Amino acid sequence: MEQVVRTAVLVSGSGTNLQALIDAADPRVELDLVLSDRFDAGGLARAISAGIDTVVEAWGGDRDSFTERVVGRLLDRGIELVVLAGFMRILGKEAVEAFSGRIVNIHPSLLPSFPGSNAVSAALAHGVKVTGVTVHLVDEIVDHGPILAQEAVPVVDGDSVESLHKRIQAVEHRLYPRVVGELADRIAHGRSAVGL
């Protein structure tokens, strides 16, 4: 029988990557919880429509206390895999330790180029001809951990931040469900995720 991995998706925004994970309906990935730091995150409505439990853990205090509350929520639910999908808060050391090798993030550039929250506009401003998407494990440094997958996206003449981000997101929606499924498979079988 296929082994199922209890998965939480963390969102702050519209949640189109969450939607891609919902639509993929990978039998290895049980979408058990959607957690947001914002009450107005569009991802919460997507989760509710899909019948997934939601929780809001609002930012407050410092990073360590916020991380402690988030980790507590995830451990209480028996979460095994944490998928960051446009989650705009940086989780502290406690999260990386509690879910070592089991927190994954998607970033709209080819890391290590253009880390940070303005990756698409930074790539455009720099004049690169190719940017892309990176899926990586989360460590204690922002947009930094071991890379699981990358895919290039060309920058075309006349691109705006919006048009480029739209093409990047189309790749994200295809890539993220595949890599999350593969990672769940590795977790279910107790194997290392690095070298997917």
Q: What residues line the site for ligand GRF (CB under 6 A)?
A: 11, 13-17, 85-86, 106-108, 169, 172
Report in angstroms how near the CB of residue 16 gets to ligand GRF at its nearest.
Answer: 3
Closer to ligand GRF by Cβ: residue 174 or 191: 174
Closer to ligand GRF by Cβ: residue 85 or 124: 85
Report in angstroms how near the CB of residue 2 gets to ligand GRF at its nearest.
Answer: 26
Catalytic residues: 107
Peptide bond into 112 cis (omega under 30): yes
Number of neighbours of residue 12 by Cβ within 10 angstroms:
19
Q: How far apart are CA 133 and CA 12, in angstroms?
A: 19
Closer to ligand GRF by Cβ: residue 88 or 188: 88
Q: Which H or E element spans position 196?
A: none
Report in angstroms how near the CB of residue 78 gets to ligand GRF at its nearest.
Answer: 25
